[in-house]
Amino acid sequence: MTAVAGTPSRTPSSTTSASSATYKGNDKLLYGIILGVITFWLFAQTTLNIAPDMQRDLGLDASMMNIAVAITALFSGIFIVVIGGLADRVGRVKTVQIGFYLSIIGSLLIAMAPTGDMATGFLLVGRALQGVSAACIMPASLALVKSYWDGPARQRAVSLWSIGSWGGSGVCSLFGGLVTQNFGWRYIFFASIVVAVIGLLMMKGTPESKAETKGAYKFDLAGVLTFLIAMVALQIVVTQGNKMGWTSPTIHGLIAAVIVFGGLFFRIENTIGQPFVDFKLFRNPTYTGATISNFLLNGVAGTLLVSLQLVQLGGDMTAQQAGALTLGYAVAIIAFIRVGEKLLQRFGARKPMIWGCLITGLAIVLLSPANLLLGDYKILAMIGYTLFGVGLAFYATPSTDAALSALPADQAGSGSGIYKMASSLGAAFGVAISAAIFTALSASPESIAWLEGVITFAGRQDNLAVREAAIIALMFNVLMVVGAIMSIMLTIPKAGAKKA
- Collect contacts of 448-455 with beta carbons under 8 A, ≥24 apart: 448/472, 455/371
Partnered with residue 213 across adjacent β-strands are 10
pLDDT at 472: 93
CA distance 2 to 403: 18
pLDDT at 499: 46
In 3D, which of 34, 70, 39, 17 has the Cα closest to residue 302?
Answer: 70
CA distance 124 to 164: 24
Would you say 428 and 73 are in contact if contact means Cβ atoms under 8 Å apart? yes
State the number of CA atoms in the 13 A half-sphere of 11 facing the CB. Answer: 9
Q: Is 112 helix (H, G, I), strand (E, B) or coil?
A: coil
pLDDT at 18: 43
Domain with CATH 1.20.1250.20 in the chain: 24-206+276-491
In 3D, which of 291, 294, 287 has the Cα closest to residue 481?
Answer: 294
CA distance 460 to 458: 7
Partnered with residue 87 across adjacent β-strands are none
pLDDT at 440: 87
In 3D, which of 331, 329, 340 has the Cα closest to residue 393?
Answer: 340
pLDDT at 21: 60
Q: What is the pLDDT along the chain (500 residues), one digit of tens a residue?
A: 233 223 233 333 344 444 556 787 788 999 999 999 999 888 988 998 899 899 999 998 888 888 898 889 888 888 887 787 788 888 999 999 999 999 999 999 999 999 988 999 999 999 999 999 998 998 899 889 888 888 888 888 888 887 888 778 778 888 999 999 999 999 999 999 999 999 999 999 899 988 766 556 677 888 889 988 998 898 888 878 877 888 899 999 999 999 999 999 999 988 888 787 888 888 888 899 999 999 999 999 999 999 999 999 999 999 999 999 999 998 998 889 889 889 998 999 999 999 999 999 999 999 999 999 999 999 999 999 999 999 999 998 899 888 878 777 766 666 777 887 888 889 888 988 999 999 888 888 887 878 888 888 898 888 899 999 999 999 999 999 999 999 999 998 887 554 44
pLDDT at 200: 95
State the number of CA atoms in the 13 A half-sphere of 305 facing the CB. Answer: 34
pLDDT at 20: 59
Q: Give helix 374-405 / helix 350-366 axis angle, nearest 10°.
A: 160
Q: Which amino acid is at 280?
A: K
CA distance 32 to 86: 21
Checking phi first, is residue 25 left (phi over 0); if not, alpha (psi -120 to 50) or beta? Answer: beta
24-206+276-491 has which CATH code? 1.20.1250.20
pLDDT at 500: 43
CA distance 184 to 173: 14
What is the distance between the terminal CA atoms of the chain, rounded to a whole angstrom?
A: 25
Q: Is 35 helix (H, G, I), strand (E, B) or coil?
A: helix
Q: Which amino acid is at 376?
A: D
pLDDT at 413: 62
In 3D, which of 319, 305, 294 has the Cα closest to residue 437?
Answer: 305
